[in-house]
Amino acid sequence: MASSPPESEPLIRLLWRAHNWFRAALTTAFEAEGDGATISAAHVTLLSQLPSEGVSIAELARRLGVSAPTAHQWVHELVALDVVTVESDPHSARSKRVLLTTAGVRRREETMQILAGLEATLAERVGADTVTALRAALEEPWGSPESAVADPSDLSTR
């Protein structure tokens, strides 16, 4: 009986594994600093999606793919760690904006340095050309997700 070739993993699973690799490495780096502040994997993910100009909790929830109450909980945990603050949104009386504190800006700078080191480590492990190609592919405009499935009947023939 002939065995079928192994099924290749979907790209989304590989991308998720890569995301988790970076997130776990960042969390480990923060723990190694030993400053007493516990930055969880969830916090790292939230901070990675927080733009410098700030954003509403509802928008953070959308970016993270979590419920608004979950995003709210994570934000308030980071408020307690003095990494972010929640302020009134000048553009909407009903909305609040999540912004980095001074300590949060320093943490982001540290994070960017750690990430640069992680990318260098990854380049040593899989090759600089591979990391450069990966970055180039991820920086390309992919178009909207909706346009990729505009005609679902086309997907089965690709």
Which tokens belong to 144?
């909207």
The domain tally of the chain equals 1
Give the tens place of pLDDT for each residue, 9-49. Answer: 999 999 999 999 998 998 888 888 776 567 788 888 888 88
For the segment 58-72, what is each residue's pLDDT rounded down to a tens digit?
999 999 999 999 999
Task: Write down the pLDDT at residue 154.
Answer: 59
Is 141 inside any structural domain? Answer: no
| Residue 89, helix vs strand vs coil | strand
CATH number of the domain that 132 lies in?
A: 1.10.10.10
Sign of the C-alpha dihedral computed for residues 7, 8, 10 and 15 taken in this order: positive
pLDDT above 90 for 55: yes
Would you say residue 2 lies in a domain?
no
Q: What is the reported pTM? A: 0.73
Which residue range(s) make up the domain with 110?
Answer: 16-136
* Residue 36 within a domain: yes
